[in-house]
Amino acid sequence: MKFGVCAGVTPDTIETAKKIIDIGYDFIETNIGCVVSMTDDEIEYCAELQKINGITTPCANLLFPGWKLNRTIHLTGPERDIEWENTYMNMLMPRCAKLGLKVLVFGSGGARNMPDGYDPGIAFSELTDLCRRLGECAAKYDITIAIEPLRKQECNIIQTVQDGFKLVNSVQHPNVRLLADIYHIYNNKETIDYPQALVDSLTHVHWADPSTRAYPTISTPEMQSLADVLNQKGYNKTISIEGEAKNLLDDAVLALNTLKKLF
């Protein structure tokens, strides 16, 4: 298992990323907002700084950061713009590849929300089409898309891990896989008796205190229960801490200890 921390990586934040790696983490999970906000020269410079400092960024979240793109994004409904989606993908993927990214997390609840009164079946088909195109584009750069189910308060479609698994199976592309986030799982009151096929489809996991979304500085029964399911069914890829820290480096030390005990 490899453990990381969600923290945007740019040339300006490389020192903080290095401190996190020095604690003992394997990687940093950056975000697509950082990727799209850098110039081409800054992308090259950031990649070089990462190499010099021993920092890998195999994962990135926030696949559609509308506020960084100065755009309100609609991935479902009558305002979806397929031409824009394709242009965006073709711009984004080579930039991600230059930074060594291998997994792009597709949460982006605001962008994928269905309009009020919209047919959920049509929205699901639209997301299937989008994810298939994402997978086809990502495959050219050896990148995988990880569908992230989100709690009901944040998104009105693809909320549970089972929903995400259904979407993965609908897409049927090897570069489109699934993410499980402990905070969303327990806020949605999901049962976690996941079948083996679902766990096999996981490519990444987000971890935090399931009640507060703070760094997991101590273990809880909910953490242990989900860890037991993942361990028993052979999940052994990457886990990132995605949460709020009171003191980043101190909490990161405690959180890593928690993860190592759970996994």
Provide the CATH number for the domain around residue 84: 3.20.20.150
pTM above 0.75, yes or no: yes
Q: Rounded to whole angstroms, how far apart are CA atoms 18 and 14?
A: 6
Give pLDDT, residue 184: 98
Give pLDDT, residue 225: 98
Give pLDDT, residue 62: 98
Bridge partner list, 103: 59, 144
Return the DSSP state at 76: S
Amino acid at 35: V
Give pLDDT, residue 78: 98
User: What are the C-alpha distances in Å from 205 to residues 129, 202, 229?
Assistant: 24, 8, 13
CA atoms 91, 105, 244, 17: torsion sign: negative
Q: Rounded to whole angstroms, how far apart are CA atoms 263 and 235?
A: 10
Q: Rounded to whole angstroms, how far apart are CA atoms 229 and 232?
A: 5
Q: Which residue range(s) make up the domain with 14?
A: 2-262
Amino acid at 219: S
Residues of the chain with pLDDT under 70: none
Give pLDDT, residue 49: 98
Number of domains in the chain: 1
Q: Please, what is the average pLDDT of the chain?
A: 98
Q: Rounded to whole angstroms, how far apart are CA atoms 220 and 139?
A: 38
User: What are the C-alpha distances in Å from 2 to residues 27, 29, 205, 211, 263?
Assistant: 8, 12, 11, 24, 10
CB 149 within 8 A of CB 160: yes
Task: List % helix, strand, coil for the chain (3-state, nearest 5).
Answer: 50, 15, 35
Q: H helices of 109-220, where? A: 109-112, 120-139, 161-171, 182-187, 196-201
Give pLDDT, residue 256: 98
Give pLDDT, residue 55: 98
Q: Which residue, 198, 17, 180, 15, is CA-closest to 100?
A: 17
